[in-house]
Amino acid sequence: MAESKEFQLNEPYYGPPIPPSQPPPRNSPTPLKFNFDVYSLLCTITKVTTVFLIIIGVIVLALWLIYQPQSIKVYAESASLSTFNLSVVDNNTLLAYDLAVNFTFRNPNRKYSIYYERVDVQALYGGYQIESMRLSPLRQQRKSSMPVGVRFEGRRETAAGDNYGREKGEGFFRIRVKMYVTVRLKMIVVESVKFKPDVDCDLRVPAPGNSTSLAAGFVGTDCDVSNFS
């Protein structure tokens, strides 16, 4: 048998290069996965919005309690009748009228301006409506007075002839003016809920053509304001 050759470790080796030993492979980290959950996002947005609205509500309520609003004031400065006559036509009693009234609206609040969204005005005589109208929206600044004029003119069938003769003889007609108002109060950028006060003015107006009552003139009247709450 041929003798096997032993290679000494300290002898040079001229064979192909031996690659270096490599460490065992490590497990590469798993890439993070972004899971977009729409439901969770909506829940978060809802919670944040709810908290924000609650905070705003608490602030508004606190300011409202601190600066509780006062009712508007309405004053009839002047009232005059150019025409106020009853006539009978075809068994119908007709009232011809021309009534002008000048009011002053007073906002006593230092912190709130007022927006009059709707002002419906009615004139009544003897419990019967003469005419109604709607004024244009109005804005009033804080702690201020504002003139508001109305005029009713026309002819209308009426059943309110019982007191006419007596009041004409006295020289004064009692005419009632009512207003149905819708307002909002505003402080800085915060607006209140709607208020719907009722204004009731009982006017004693000099009869046209009566020199005595015209000389006495119209006496200014404070109007009653209710339901401002």
The full length of the chain comes to 229
In whole angstroms, give the CA distance from residue 229 to residue 99.
Answer: 31
Which SS3 state, helix, strand or coil, does residue 183 take?
strand
Q: Say what the pLDDT of residue 91 is.
A: 84
Q: Say what the pLDDT of residue 18 is.
A: 62
pLDDT band at 178 (very low <50, low <70, confident <90, very high): very high
**pTM of the predicted model as reported, rounded to 2 decimal places:** 0.70
Q: How many helices (H) and strands (E) does the chain have?
A: 3, 11
CB-based contact 108:73 (threshold 8 Å): yes
Q: Is CATH 2.60.40 what the domain over 73-226 is classified as, yes or no?
A: yes
- Which position has the higher pLDDT, 65 or 87? 87
User: What does the pLDDT look like over 137-173, one tens digit per residue?
Assistant: 999 999 999 999 999 999 998 887 788 989 999 999 9
Q: Does the pLDDT at position 66 exceed 70?
A: no
Which SS3 state, helix, strand or coil, does residue 214 take?
helix
Domain residue limits, the chain: 38-68, 73-226
Over range 68-94, report the average pLDDT.
92
Q: Say what the pLDDT of residue 227 is.
A: 82
Q: Is the dihedral of CA 210, 214, 217, 222 positive or negative?
A: positive
pLDDT band at 26 (very low <50, low <70, confident <90, very high): low
In whole angstroms, give the CA distance from residue 51 to residue 43.
Answer: 12
Over range 174-189, report the average pLDDT.
92
In whole angstroms, give the CA distance from residue 207 to residue 202.
Answer: 15
| Strands ordered across the beta sheet of 144-157 | 144-157, 92-107, 73-89, 221-222
Cβ of 160: how many Cβ atoms within 10 Å? 16
Q: Does the pLDDT at position 34 exceed 80?
A: no
Mean pLDDT of the chain: 85
Over range 87-107, report the average pLDDT.
93
Q: Which helix (H) or strand (E) holds 42?
A: helix 38-66
In whole angstroms, give the CA distance from residue 109 to residue 187.
Answer: 10
In whole angstroms, give the CA distance from residue 20 to residue 39.
Answer: 54
> If phi over 0 gives left and psi between -120 and 50 gives alpha, with beta otherwise, what is residue 84?
beta
> In the block, which residue shows the tokens 């890439």?
31
Which SS3 state, helix, strand or coil, does residue 79 take?
strand
